[in-house]
Structure 1
Amino acid sequence: MTNRRQPPRWWAELLVLGLLYGAYSGGRLLARGDVRLAVDHGLAILRVEELLAIDLERPLNRLFTHHAALGIPADFVYASLHYLVTPAVLVWLYRRRPQQYRFARTWLAISTVLGLIGFALVPTCPPRLLDASYGFTDTMARYSAYGWWGGEASAPRGLGGLTNQFAAMPSLHVGWALWCGIALWRHGRRPLVRALGAAYPAVTTLVVMGTANHYFLDAVAGAAVMGAGWLAARALPGSRAPHTVRTAGFRGKSTIVSGGWDTSAGELLPVQRRAAADAAAAADATATAADDSAPEDSAAAAR
């Protein structure tokens, strides 16, 4: 009986992810930081962007402010998709791509922890909370009558005190969206799914800047955190994503074997492939010996 690696149990995964989200929410609150320090960090980021001419959040924010047809949908995207798409992709991977789920979950968890460390070390005032003289408009506050949020980030009205408004660097909105996009692009089979995977992180990046919730460098840092989390996840023993290997199988047929996970119906494990190859070689040798002895047997019968 073969020893196959089983996918994680759903209830254990639900518990782990619940603890992770609790740590994410609690960590954001604990890493509030000093207001003056957060403003200084925000202005420092803005000055660097101005120096490099990459302060892309300014024209986007003006565009979203002047055109409600863009600003209102962007606010809904910012306030909701971050908390809906990520768990949906996790469930999709667990159910439809269990071979890739374990690594993807580990990658997301490590990256989130790195982001929380960033919130604690670099509390950052987002553009919308800077003085009005810097030219930013809080679109969430401007269009709050259209949604459930108030003037304090994306929290429901009256619950703004439960959020950390200085958790801007890095942008985990962008980081999580990038994770979702890569998962959909790599493991989606339909062109529409892969297209959504490519579009989602790009749209999220535009939204977080246009709503004045993040600087462009916050988005860059969010992508960098995901890259670091990916490298860390690969370094963990047993968590690397399985890969597909194509080898020559029994009787010249191509056999696909998944590394470390259950094989599909009809596929052979490495031990089985070796046994099959040995059996095939023995059968060929027997057939050859039989063919060589056949003429001699015929001649003897004729005599």
Structure 2
Amino acid sequence: MRRPRWWAELSLIAVVYAAYSGGRLLVKGDEASAVEHGLAILRVEEGLGIDAEHPLNRLFTSVPALGIPADFAYASLHYLVTPAVLVWLFRRRPAPYRAARTWLMLSTLLGLVGFTLLPTCPPRLLDAAHGFTDTMARFASYGWWGGEASAPRGLGGLTNQYAAMPSLHVGWALWCGVMLCRYGRTPLTKALGVLYPLVTALVVMGTANHYLLDAVAGVAVMGAGLLLAPYALRLADRIRGRAEAPPVVSGGCETSTGERIPGQRSVRTTADDKQASAR
């Protein structure tokens, strides 16, 4: 299999991420419906007794030694670890790279569909009566973010704060974990592959950026992307094969005896050829 070209991969990833970021910003949805969806998710969790984000958020808020590192992790690792794993796969594991990259991209685009169909208010933006504290805003003086998600201070308007369902923080972390566990060679690498998605799930709930069901939806989106990736790869190979197929000069038609293709040079008939024809 031909090794992917780094510049082509970089261009492809940049285009997909720009489309995802732009689309995520364009499908903000109205605040009322986003709040309604957030409260509906919270009611379902409370009814099932699985609203783990409540105790985690209280813990992260009351213990700054947990809350501040969690805010840093939420605001940075999502954008650092995933590209690092992609580069590592490209350089060290080129054989599975293409399938892994396709899986990640498809899942990301499926997440965009989720943001479009179900704009959701994260717990931190609900009314204070629901018992959540926005740790990103509470500890904003320790980092570069403001009170508007993980965007740099003053740039909150460039992010969609109602894109909580599904949690791609958890989805991307799961992808990274699978790659590290499957292709890592050392016990430490494999251990990080297990810990990273688990810690990310705790962070997104403890900082009140996502509900538990958002995390579950992030895992589901990655599962759907994994199932669709082989079909996308086969389609891409078919399109590439057609684009690279050499043209057929005669269009598949045979010429009759003595007929020449236009522009074809005539070949002088030798004496031996004449004798062979006479026989």
Indicate whether the TM-score tops 0.5: yes
Secondary structure at the counterpart of residue 156 of structure 1 = coil
Find the residue that maps to 1:59 and give its secondary structure.
helix
Alignment of 1:114-129 (within 5 A): 114-129=110-125
Cα deviation, residue 15, structure 1: 0.1
Q: Partners of 2:185 and 2:64 in 1: how far apart?
A: 36
Corresponding residue for 2:262?
A: none
Q: Give the letter for the 1:200 counterpart.
A: Y
Aligned partners of 2:121 and 2:232: how far apart in 1?
Answer: 34
Separation in 2, partners of 1:201, 1:237: 26
Aligned to 1:32: 28
Amino acid at match of 2:221: V
TM-score (structure 2 length as normaliser):
0.83
Aligned residue among 80, 86, 92 for 1:84: 80
Q: Which moved more, 1:121-130 or 1:17-26?
A: 17-26
1:163 maps to 2:159: yes
The aligned counterpart of 2:244 is none
Structure 1 Cα separation of the partners of residues 235 and 164 of structure 2: 29
Deviations 1:211-269 (A, max 9, x none): 000000000000000000000002334489xxxxxxxxxxxxxxxxxxxxxxxxxxxxx
- On the 8 A contact 1:86/1:176 being kept in 2, the answer is yes
Deviations for 1:136-163, whole angstroms, at most 9, x for unmatched residues? 0000000000000000000011000000
Q: Of 98, 104, 107, which residue of structure 1 is paired with 2:103?
A: 107
How many percent of aligned residue pairs carry the same amino acid?
74
Q: Which of 197, 222, 227 does residue 223 from structure 2 map onto?
A: 227
> How far did residue 23 of structure 1 move?
1.2
Which residues of structure 1 form unaligned runs of 5+?
241-303
CA shift for structure 1 position 20:
1.2
- Tell me, yes or no, if structure 1 residue 49 matches structure 2 residue 22: no
What's the CA shift string for 1:48-74, capped at 9, x where partnerless? Answer: 000000000000000000000000000
| Aligned residues between the structures | 236
Kindly state the Cα deviation for residue 98 of structure 1 after the two structures are TM-superposed: 0.3
Residue aligned with 2:164, SS: coil
Coordinate RMSD, CA, aligned: 1.1
Contact 1:233–1:239 (8 Å) recurs in 2: no
Task: Work out whether residues 140 and 149 of structure 1, in 8 Å CA contact, stay in contact via their aligned partners in 2.
Answer: yes
What CA distance in whole angstroms lies between the structure 2 residues aligned with 1:239 and 1:73? 43
Unmatched 5+ stretches in structure 2: 237-279
Are residues 1:132 and 2:128 paired?
yes
